[in-house]
Chain A
Amino acid sequence: MTGTVTLSQAQPRRATASLSVTLMVNGAIHDLFIDVRTSLLDALREHIGLTGAKKGCDHGQCGACTVHIDGRRVVSCLTLAAQAQGYDVGTIEGLQGVDGALHPMQQAFIDHDALQCGYCTPGQIMSAIACVQEGHAKSLDEIREYMSGNLCRCGAYVGIVAAIEDVAARTQG
């Protein structure tokens, strides 16, 4: 039973251990046979081999696992992999162009040194791209508020805000 499980197909009461799940990640289709409890984050990291999204809390408290689902930022640690079937999942690995060109937000993070250890950085960048797309980068305070779901323990916030301000200014012309 690949793909969507409908109620009529569901087995009564007894919990099943594993599930076929088809995920579309960065435009590629991945057929997985995984434990039903698997989070989208663990599916990406442990089963698909995309380790850019990071585990920092596993409870939606740090934002290091931020990915896009249909272009919207979510925390993949609180998303069941099964839940993500039928949607487009976007991760940091999918940002670069075919020629290896960086996304403007990636370049801005370099230019403004908006990172230190690099562990929260994939989540920050995925969140930052969405922040601009949502129209939540109209002022420094708005950027700060809408980027507060991504903790950076190294304390790169000043650079992160500058990078987003930079990209937003160029995007909005």
Chain B
Amino acid sequence: MQPFTYVRASNVGDAVKALSRGAKLLAGGTTLYDLMKLRIERPERIIDINHLGELKHFDTSGERELVFGALARMSEVAADAGLVRDYPAISESLWRAASQQLRNMASLGGNLLQRTRCPYFRGGEPYACNKRDPGSGCAAAEGLDRGQALLGASPSCSAVYPGDFAAALVAFDAEIDVVGPGGERVLPFEELHREPADTPQKETTLEPGEMIVRIRIPVTPLGRASTFLKVRDRESYAFALASAAVALEMDGDVVRDARVAVGGLATRPWRARAAERLLIGRRFDESAARAAGEAALDGAIPGRSNAFRIELGIRTVTDALMTARQRA
């Protein structure tokens, strides 16, 4: 790990001012410090923002929107009774991530910026990686690709975006408030992450010096009949092979509104609007759920050993929708 200067910021303005080139914000540290140990992140300055009390609060009781400060901890938000009752998909996406220790540390804002678990990215030398070392190539392209992305990949990068919470956020049309040198702006969450294309090192649309301060989710009746389903190689404490955040609003047996997003399969949080269109206005049954799953995975491009995750993704969406239907 490279040496760095450690400073504590006492307000958002100071933090943003200090966020010069070579500086990184430290919230939970579960991604940043981890990647610093791997020498993948090499900040010259660490700005500890954990004392920005203004960003720690969250409120799920509002009439128009749910508001989460970027420093709210994953574990606390996951346990919020209102969220558990009215937006189970959001709560589940949080408590099915990582471990309770890591959820006690990790902030919501930091979680959104969690970086990929692609082993070629994390492995460092000798593996080529365009994300870690732009222009060096992609070792995963001809490598072991069981865990690589099927959606949104490019020849230069197939690294999966690993976050669970993001799948729920993208499904519920979340917005994020961002503060930067030019002031504050609102960004639809769906526009935060970029597909790799030929610049996989650019993972988000945040401008230099910008920080996420808030996450807002519009209140919706879809929340109650929602779920986040995560399939992985063991029962807990593992990243998703496939996941789905889904929500239904029913009118009898007919779907009035639907939300479908998938995780663990794509290079960025992945909203599946085609699946939603297929469901809306249609009588819900298992075949409709399956059709939605197929639509969600439409366009998936398999590699050598990850093709099973297309079918797994379809079934994950299907099963999640069946669960959501029971909650409707």
Contact = CB atoms under 8 A, between A and B. Distances in A.
A–B contact with Cβ pairs below 8 Å: the answer is yes
Interface of A: 4-7, 9-11, 13-17, 19, 35-37, 39, 58-60, 63, 66, 72-75, 78-80, 82-83, 127, 130-131, 134, 136, 144-146, 148-150
Chain B: interface residue count, which band? 35 or more
Given A36-B5, A37-B1, A60-B34, A7 B101 contact: no
B34 A148 contact: no
A57 B18 CA distance: 32
B101 A149 contact: yes
B308 interface: no
A127 B102 CA distance: 12
Contacts of B34: 59-60, 78
Nearest to B22: A13
A79 B50 CA distance: 12
Contact of B235 (A19, A83, A148): A148
Contact of B29 (A35, A83, A134, A150): A83
A149 B8 contact: no
A75 B101 contact: yes
Contacts of B98: 60, 149
A130 B105 CA distance: 14
Interface in B22-75: 22, 26, 28-30, 33-34, 36-38, 44-48, 50, 75
Contacts of B50: 83
Contacts of B104: 72-74
A7 B14 contact: yes
B56 to A, nearest CB: 13
Nearest to A35: B3
A161 B105 CA distance: 24
Contact of A75 (B14, B22, B105, B235): B105
B48 A136 contact: no
Contacts of B37: 58-59
Contacts of A37: 1, 3-4, 36
Interface in B92-110: 98-102, 104-105
Given A7-B18, A127-B100, A145-B236, A19 B8 contact: no
A82 B26 CA distance: 11
Contacts of B29: 78-80, 83
A163 B5 CA distance: 44
Contacts of B44: 13, 15
Nearest to B1: A37
Interface in B105-151: 105
Given A6-B8, A6-B10, A80 B33 contact: yes
Contacts of B8: 4-7
Contacts of B186: none
B6 A74 contact: no
27 contacts: A7-B8, A9-B7, A10-B7, A13-B44, A14-B5, A15-B4, A15-B44, A19-B6, A36-B5, A37-B3, A37-B36, A58-B37, A59-B37, A60-B30, A60-B34, A60-B98, A66-B101, A72-B104, A74-B101, A75-B30, A75-B99, A80-B26, A80-B33, A83-B26, A127-B101, A144-B236, A145-B236
B100 A82 contact: no
Given A58-B37, A83-B26, A134 B100 contact: yes
Given A7-B18, A17-B3, A82-B48, 6 more contacts: A7-B7, A10-B5, A80-B26, A80-B29, A82-B6, A149-B99
